Amino acid sequence: MNIFQATGLDRFNPAQGGVRGMRIVASGLLVVMAGLYILARSHEAPGEPATWGYLRAFAEAAMVGGLADWFAVTALFRHPLGLPIPHTAIIPRNKDRIGDSLASFLRVNFLTASVVARRMQKVDVAAAIGRLLAQPPTPGRARGGIGRALATILESLGDDRLGAMVKGALASRLKAFDVAPLIGRTLDAAIVENRHAEMLDGLIGWGSRVLLHNETMIHDMVQSRTGKFMRWTGLDEKLSTAIVEGLHKLLDDMATDPDHPLRSKAQEGLEQLADRLQNDPAMRERVAAMKAEIIASPAVGAWLDTLWQNARVKLIDSARNPDAAIGGQFGAALRQLGETLQTDPQLRQTLNRFARRITVGLVADYGDGIVKLVSETIRGWDARTVTSQLENAVGRDLQYIRVNGTIVGGLIGVGLHILSGLF
């Protein structure tokens, strides 16, 4: 509580009048002190009550305090009484320097990559997005405003940069994922539930079809590798026919006999493969190398690009029409994603890391431009605009200083008057 409130003058608080109303109160109080001084001075005489002396001391010191604070407050924004007194009209004279200082303050304290990264570590962007998706705002201005803001952000961010970051994050996620144990466990589960039999039947059927369409090639291969005697006697034809028929019979027996020895051997090989995929470091490295080659292939790059473009278009359309998006199947998927973001720490950490990378990248790319924009904008304002803006923002509180200075000055005057009487 300040003195203005403590004295009960707060009922004159001109919230509705703004700076001008507060200025009237402060100036009116100064006029009251002047009137009180004249009244006390005219009644202060030998034989009169000592109260008039205290009132005169109070009013005299209050005028000094009020006038000093009026000068100090006025000197911030303009020349007092229009006189070009040195070190007055401080804000208009230093407008450019204030703009440069403000821009430098923003650059050092807000738009530095290290500062943004450090502050972003404390911000759980993923959880906030999850809450928004799980419980979207009700239809109205809030939902529409959020949707338009999201669409504007997605469109304003460079597609090359943002797309590269998204595809890079997906590719990094795929590279970091150890797929060999997953394949091994899947194969184990298939063998336990006897689902591998369908896979073997499929392989046997595929082998039968390949053999059927390549019988001529097998005959030619046998004939090209036999001698002239076998060709002259026709044994090469019988041999190639026997080979083809034997292969057909073998495949037919494997297809019809679940307990065929070769099927058992194939199952044993699958069991060994499943175990190696889970426990053999060399096999896991080979699978990881194959996976890396596949991810680095142009086909996978094109697939990731198509996936990102479709997702971006869908997100922008949904953001521009949030009511339709939230009400359909896509909205159900978004709500499910929101719940997952709130319950999956690993996914939330990945998204937060991605948000930090985007924010830090934007600051690194556009921080200097933002600082330059702030500085040049303030430089472009005329002195009257700057003064008006700042005075409207803080002028009302500065008028409180005048009121407080008037009353504090008066109290100090009374205290000095008492000390003067004592000594």
- 374/106 Cα distance (integer angstroms): 9
Burial class (CB in 10 A: 0-12, 13-18, 19+), 16: exposed
Phi-psi region of 292 (alpha: psi -120 to 50; beta: other; left: phi over 0): alpha
Torsion of the alpha carbons at 51, 53, 57 and 60, rounded to the nearest 10: 110
> The tokens of 406 are what?
């008037």
- Asked whether the whole model's pTM tops 0.85, one would answer no
Burial class (CB in 10 A: 0-12, 13-18, 19+), 137: middle
- Determine contact, residues 397/13, Cβ cutoff 8 Å: no
- 195/123 Cα distance (integer angstroms): 47
- 103/385 Cα distance (integer angstroms): 18
Q: What's the alpha-carbon Rg for the chain, to the nearest Å?
A: 43
Q: Which of 325, 373, 320 lies closest to 148, judged by CA?
A: 320
pLDDT in the model for residue 1: 42
- 94/92 Cα distance (integer angstroms): 6
Q: For 244, phi and psi rounded to 5 degrees?
A: -65, -45
Residue with tokens 């959880």: 127
Mapping DSSP to helix (H, G, I), strand (E, B) and coil, where does residue 196 land? helix
pLDDT in the model for residue 334: 67
Per-residue pLDDT of the chain (423 residues; tens, 9 = 90+): 444 444 444 444 443 346 788 888 888 888 999 998 898 888 876 655 678 888 888 988 888 988 888 888 888 888 887 788 887 877 777 777 877 887 788 777 777 777 788 888 888 888 887 887 777 666 555 555 656 656 665 665 555 656 666 667 677 777 777 788 888 888 888 777 777 777 777 877 888 888 778 777 777 776 666 666 555 566 667 777 788 788 878 878 777 777 778 777 877 888 888 888 888 888 888 888 888 888 778 887 777 777 777 777 777 776 666 655 555 555 666 677 778 878 888 778 878 887 888 788 777 777 777 777 777 777 777 777 777 777 777 777 888 888 888 888 888 888 888 888 787
Q: Which of 58, 113, 197 lies closest to 368, judged by CA?
A: 113
**Identity of the residue numbered 333:** A
pLDDT in the model for residue 421: 78
- 179/162 Cα distance (integer angstroms): 27
- 91/6 Cα distance (integer angstroms): 31
The CA-atom distances, in angstroms, between 60 and each of 38, 52, 74 are: 9, 12, 21
Phi-psi region of 257 (alpha: psi -120 to 50; beta: other; left: phi over 0): beta
